[in-house]
Structure 1
């Protein structure tokens, strides 16, 4: 299985399974099935609201002898509401308890945005909720470096093996590195042919930060969210260029999109509930695209970001 060596000394699989939008009613079975299909990276988050069910699926797979705990790379993410250092360890332990685990292989800061703290007994996960007296969203003045130092303490205590950032641009990363004792091992970003972010990838490589791309299929992940951005652009699955390249290799359009990313050194975390597509999405390192094909796909870039806090109830312009 292809993997990426992290600066923390651990290895992360190049292809994993993303748990975003996996309904709680099927999540346990999905996790069990993807592990049975060979996946060894599970990408979760507090905000996904399905960590308990994901942990049930993982436990069942371990109990049935399909995997051992040490063979599975489990990722979670600290939600915006818990950036204050005094909440970081408590909420990491909350996620670990939901998963039924003693440690995470990777723990991200989900967004470089500190929202007002919400007691998990009041609402969990809080998503954009910031209290019953708050009309939209509210924020706290917590510098990212303070949150990061609390993340570093999770490594010191053995609760987390690697720590990372998500949805961060270069200036934030460079500023964080000036005060970090433990550098980010992984950066997770939206990444697809309509949003290639080449300069950010170069910076990550320069700083020895591995990159995981989410929403590898571009607009596909956002159609069910009624995104007008997704509805008003050509589906990458139907794009003539992607279909032409897929036909040339005898592969699916999804496999071509994932191979384009992995050949660029970007780990991927696609999602599907279809057993055949699960197998196809997993088999994306057994063939190579030509340099001309990679460049042609990269040429589709139009800087189109689907997951943008500027579109949130309280617009937050982190990508300005």
Structure 2
């Protein structure tokens, strides 16, 4: 791992960089040239982890870039940490296997550093619409455990799961999740969920740390939570004090909570700025100000994505325990 970036150790001893590049951009028509330029800018800035997913439709682009990178000999496979995920339409064990093999092939890798279940609610397509597919989480999880034992996955985890869903899985699992990735930001701080993860020795990753200002690209017709972390008075105040951007303040505050962040961008300057957060430290009093923020607003209102698998995320009644 790069010595420039602090890491967080998972309960199996594997270390993950505390900041990485999120890649969920232009899902319908990813711009290959733009994404590769962003990946190169990230490598040059010191990033060593990339967060992707089968649903992002860019694993093949990342794979091509990594292969080129390794051939140059400047970066070794062991220097890079790759996270990817299986989408809830593929949660039946046979389909999980196919998705895993597809991800490995597209990424051009023989192992994946962290593999996640992308959501808690399995779905299937019927008559052109997505409906719940009552597949027990544990059956899907056992497939991930198999690949973990084989060394194909160095660590395994969950995304968008609630505390009750995680409790049930942990009771039945042979291998406890190593990581949870969820929406988490200054206006939706997830203190209870983070505390649960701490008690269970599960590392915690935030997405939408900056408020995901471009989130409407996923569905312009959907209803979105209305909150802007970068516009919070305390964030602006601290940005002025430290000579940093609001985004840098938000990322620093989150990493000081021990939370992994994966801001996404294709802008080389912003990519550089996002990782330039380790030359200052917020005081205890300044960190406390964030706990006094009254907002508790989820931005990704999954139930509003009618006709899409996201419609069912976090709806526990559609899952089998």
TM-score of the aligned structures, taking structure 1 as reference length:
0.89
Contact 1:229 1:306 in 2 (8 A): yes
Contact 2:223 2:304 in 1 (8 A): no
- How big is each residue's C-alpha offset from its partner over 1:282-302, in whole Å with a ceiling of 9 and x where there is no partner? 122331111222222233352
- How big is each residue's C-alpha offset from its partner over 1:62-106, in whole Å with a ceiling of 9 and x where there is no partner? 222331111100000011111111222221010010010001000
Residue 189 (structure 2) aligns with: 196
Structure 1 residue 66 and structure 2 residue 59: aligned?
no
- C-alpha change, 1:19 and 1:311, in structure 2 (3 Å) is same
Instruction: Specify which of 48, 64, 70 is matched with residue 40 of structure 1.
Output: 48
- How big is each residue's C-alpha offset from its partner over 1:238-269, in whole Å with a ceiling of 9 and x where there is no partner? 33321111111111111100011000010000
SS in 1 for 2:154: strand
Q: Distance in 1 between matches of 2:278 and 2:314?
A: 33
Instruction: Specify which of 149, 153, 156 is matched with residue 156 of structure 1.
Output: 149
Q: Distance in 1 between matches of 2:305 and 2:88?
A: 13
Instruction: Specify which of 276, 291, 302 is matched with residue 295 of structure 2.
Output: 302
1:228 Cα offset (Å): 4.8
Structure 1 residue 291 and structure 2 residue 284: aligned?
yes
Matches within 5 A, 1:53-202: 53-116=61-124, 130=125, 133-134=127-128, 136-202=129-195
Q: Distance in 2 between matches of 1:308 and 1:182?
A: 30
- C-alpha change, 1:80 and 1:45, in structure 2 (3 Å) is same
1:148 Cα offset (Å): 0.6
Contact 1:17 1:41 in 2 (8 A): yes
Q: Distance in 2 between matches of 1:34 and 1:197?
A: 28
RMSD of equivalent CA atoms: 1.8
Q: Distance in 1 between matches of 2:63 and 2:268?
A: 20
Q: Distance in 1 between matches of 2:38 and 2:72?
A: 15
1:277 Cα offset (Å): 1.8
Structure 2: segments with no counterpart, 5+ residues: 317-321
Residue 120 (structure 1) aligns with: none
Instruction: Specify which of 1, 4, 9 is matched with residue 5 of structure 1.
Output: 9
Structure 1: segments with no counterpart, 5+ residues: 117-129
- How big is each residue's C-alpha offset from its partner over 1:146-201, in whole Å with a ceiling of 9 and x where there is no partner? 11111101112222110000001111111111111111000001010111010100
Structure 1 residue 318 and structure 2 residue 314: aligned?
yes
Residue 233 (structure 2) aligns with: 240
Q: Distance in 2 between matches of 1:287 and 1:154?
A: 40
- C-alpha change, 1:301 and 1:91, in structure 2 (3 Å) is farther
1:38 Cα offset (Å): 1.1
SS in 2 for 1:104: coil
Contact 1:262 1:285 in 2 (8 A): no
Residue 254 (structure 1) aligns with: 247
Residue 17 (structure 1) aligns with: 21
Of 295-304 and 147-156, more deviation after overlay is shown by 295-304
- C-alpha change, 1:277 and 1:303, in structure 2 (3 Å) is same
After the TM superposition, which parts of structure 1 deviate over 3 Å for at least 4 consecutive aligned residues? 223-230
Residue 59 (structure 2) aligns with: 51
Of 301-310 and 143-152, more deviation after overlay is shown by 301-310
1:319 Cα offset (Å): 5.6
Contact 2:23 2:265 in 1 (8 A): no
Structure with more contact order per residue of length (Cα contacts < 8 Å, sep ≥ 6): 2
Residue 123 (structure 1) aligns with: none
Contact 2:86 2:118 in 1 (8 A): yes
Residue 29 (structure 1) aligns with: 37
TM-score of the aligned structures, taking structure 2 as reference length:
0.89
